[in-house]
């Protein structure tokens, strides 16, 4: 599958997919090939149906993982069999809505202070203070830190650029880290200075540090991102501002943090705890406005009408003028 694999990778790259998406799709097609027992070019609608049924009911995969396999097969059919409609009947599975876990601000500060070394402390600080994804954080370069404007230049999901917050405490931590480690290109390099630290290594450090200080929540880099957004919301920050800082394409994605904020729920009072409202007195009917002029049905005529009628009657009493005038 090496030649076919290279062509499929090139196809996905030309479509604009990220490295992580390409890696997931290639891995999914490799799993399908192992299940099928032959090259994936022999895929049919029946074999695709049986494979997805095996993943769903046999391996009990979650809907999010199932969608990766569905999308990878769709893209492979678009690449190798563009005229066929093999994956037409299979659509994206609905994913259940969940409450993202968060940790408190004090737990976050304890996590930063308990970091095993200055590099781990800098990574955790950047993740929380800027609300970055772990891939965004580890792919930062030294030139992405703008200390004059106090922002971080981030290349987010879908190759979308944005600016994230750079707090003064984070900047001081990064300066201490730079003096000690002297990175060349990537801000957080791995074993090779020309490559960033792996996400697996960074996630392991965060998980181990949280477990060592007794945090019950399963802390990941994304939990720090959720905590960043939730804490901003509790302090009264606008959802639109949080959306821009997180790099969400839709506001509905950011709105899920309104269901997480415990402080917002505490500020809402139950109607049972509210004292009953004082009874209101009935409103008094307004007195009718006094109308001017004579009342309806009265025989007394107004003064103007009386004068007008008198003038008409006097005019009728005058004798008619003779023709030719007075002699």
Looking at the structure, tell me whether residues 125 and 249 fall in a common domain. yes
Closest CA to 174 of 221, 203, 140: 140
* Cβ contacts of 59 within 8 Å, gap of 6 or more: none
196 lies in some domain: yes
Question: What tokens were used for 135?
Answer: 């891939």
Domain ranges, residue 114: 105-266
- The CATH number assigned to the domain holding 57 equals 1.10.150.130
Domain boundary among 244, 266, 288: 266
pLDDT of residue 217: 87
pLDDT of residue 41: 86
What band does 327 get if pLDDT is binned at 50, 70 and 90? very low
pTM for the whole structure: 0.64
Looking at the structure, tell me whether residues 25 and 118 fall in a common domain. no
Looking at the structure, tell me whether residues 253 and 116 fall in a common domain. yes
Looking at the structure, tell me whether residues 76 and 118 fall in a common domain. no
Looking at per-residue pLDDT, the higher value among 301 and 91 belongs to 91
Looking at the structure, tell me whether residues 70 and 216 fall in a common domain. no
The predicted model gives 56-64 an average pLDDT of: 89
Domain boundary among 35, 63, 80: 80
Looking at the structure, tell me whether residues 146 and 64 fall in a common domain. no
Looking at the structure, tell me whether residues 254 and 125 fall in a common domain. yes
Give pLDDT tens digits for 220-258: 998 898 888 888 888 877 777 877 888 776 666 666 666
Looking at the structure, tell me whether residues 73 and 121 fall in a common domain. no
Q: Among residues of the chain, what percentage have pLDDT more than 70?
A: 74
pLDDT greater than 50 at residue 144: yes
The predicted model gives 171-178 an average pLDDT of: 94
pLDDT of residue 317: 54
The number of distinct structural domains making up the chain is 2
260 lies in some domain: yes
284 lies in some domain: no
* Cβ contacts of 90 within 8 Å, gap of 6 or more: 48, 49, 52, 70, 73, 74
Looking at the structure, tell me whether residues 63 and 135 fall in a common domain. no
Give the catalytic positions in this structure. Answer: 133, 157, 222, 225, 248, 257
222 lies in some domain: yes
């Amino acid at each position: 599958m090496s030649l076919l694999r290279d062509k499929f990778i090139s196809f996905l790259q030309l479509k604009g997919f990220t490295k992580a998406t390409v890696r997931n799709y290639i891995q999914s097609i490799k799993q399908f090939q192992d299940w099928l027992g032959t090259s994936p070019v022999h895929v049919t609608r029946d074999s695709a149906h049986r494979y997805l049924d095996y993943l769903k009911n046999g391996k009990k995969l979650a809907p999010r993982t199932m969608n990766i396999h569905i999308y990878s097969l769709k893209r492979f059919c678009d690449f190798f069999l563009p005229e066929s409609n093999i994956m037409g009947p299979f659509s994206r599975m609905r994913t259940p809505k969940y409450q993202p876990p968060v940790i408190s601000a004090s737990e976050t500060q304890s996590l930063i202070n308990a970091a095993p070394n200055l590099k781990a402390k800098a990574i955790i600080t950047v993740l929380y203070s800027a609300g970055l994804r772990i891939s965004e954080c580890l792919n930062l370069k030294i030139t992405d830190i703008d200390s004059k404007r106090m922002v971080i230049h981030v290349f987010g999901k879908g190759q979308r650029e944005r600016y994230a917050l750079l707090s003064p405490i984070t900047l001081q931590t990064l300066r201490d880290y730079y003096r000690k480690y002297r990175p060349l290109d990537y801000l957080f390099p791995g074993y090779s200075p020309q490559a960033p630290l792996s996400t697996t290594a960074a996630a392991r450090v965060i998980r181990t540090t949280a477990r060592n200080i007794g945090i019950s929540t399963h802390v990941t880099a994304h939990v720090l991102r959720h905590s960043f957004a939730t804490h901003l919301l509790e302090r009264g920050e606008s959802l639109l501002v949080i959306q821009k800082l997180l790099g969400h394409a839709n506001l509905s994605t950011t709105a899920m943090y309104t269901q997480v904020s415990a402080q917002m729920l505490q500020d809402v009072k139950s109607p049972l705890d509210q004292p009953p409202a004082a009874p209101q007195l009935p409103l008094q009917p307004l007195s009718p406005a006094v109308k001017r002029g004579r009342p309806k049905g009265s025989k007394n005529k107004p003064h103007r009408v009386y004068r007008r009628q008198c003038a008409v009657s006097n005019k009728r009493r005058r004798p008619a003028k003779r023709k030719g005038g007075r002699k």
